Amino acid sequence: MSDDLSVLFSSVRIGSLDLPNRIVMAPLTRNRVEPTTLAPRALNAEYYRQRASAGLIITEATQISQQGQGYLNTPGIYSDAQVEGWKLVTQAVHQAGGRIALQLWHVGRISHVSLQPNGDAPVAPSAIAAKTKTYLAHGFDDVSAPRALEQAEIKAIVRDYAKAAANAKRAGFDAVEIHGANGYLIDQFLRDGSNHRTDEYGGSIENRTRFALEVTRAVLESWEPSRVGFRISPAAPANDMSDSNPAPLFQYLAQELSALKLAFLHVNESQAADGPRFDFVGLRNVFAGAYMANAGYEASSAAKAINDKRADCVAFGKLFISNPDLVARFQTGAALNEWDQAKFYGGDVSGYTDYPALG
């Protein structure tokens, strides 16, 4: 092991979570839960168990309601069957000595009528269709045009988050992460490219962050803040997202989340190649909790970010898909397995639990 990488394997306290290393498994949608109940099963428990050496696992995005679903065969956390399914996962990870957080998700406009209750249109802050695709039974297809949420409906979705967060605690998770990134519902409220509302949820930065902060407070009804994280993607164009002035928006949000004493801010640092550079250091400076960096990191760049005090830990996505023992491979300098992108979404054990571990 290179001395330059040693910081990756040092312990760190994030909120009230003691992590044995700073290598986090990022949330990764894999579309492999039980199709009828959308509950995790033994296959999913094995997948996460194999990766329990991560300092922390953050699960694949998990919808808080049927309305929150946007892709085929993604898990939920709104039914008793789903809670029982997730118990299989948390028990397997804990038995292997790991720690695991559930990512709470509502896709908003990134959905299709075939996945929505009664075939309804997806919902969004404003009736603006995204130029992107979703994953359905026949493969990738355009998302459906959304309708704008009424204020009363927004309050109901906040209550759905509260119930889902309580269910995550019942399922035995160590923490939860609120998914406010990548062009899904919370991000749609945050950014002015997708939020054209003129009521208390639109216009000013204070109004556009209102939904995110209401959701966070709802989650804190059942979770202590030292076990709650929040994920953002301030400059990522994923799912047709944009904002006219993201720096003050996300600085304000980070300050407000810091005031709520959240454990960590998980930042997808992706940004358009031809766009202005976003000041991620500025976010770190205004958020008092741990800063979790994500997007395109490898071992050396992750270690440098931590040594330079730009991050407290780093989340890895695709590398964890193909390397269940990623921590050991980083530590020993072993070669990394290559991922098979054709098997990322849907399927069975192939490209899921059959990647080899060392030895």
Give the residue from 103, 32, 110 showing the smallest Cα distance to 73. Answer: 32
**CA pair distance 281, 63, nearest whole angstrom:** 31
**CA pair distance 101, 226, nearest whole angstrom:** 12
**CA pair distance 107, 123, nearest whole angstrom:** 9
The strand pair at 23-25 and 175-179 is best described as: unpaired
Q: Is 297 a catalytic residue?
A: no
End-to-end CA distance of the chain: 18
Indicate which residue of 47, 78, 184, 201 is catalytic. Answer: 184
**CA pair distance 29, 317, nearest whole angstrom:** 10
Residues 6+ apart with CB under 8 A from 344: 30, 321, 351
Beta strand extents in 94-174 (DSSP E only): 100-105, 123-124, 133-136, 139-142, 147-148
Residues catalogued as catalytic: 184
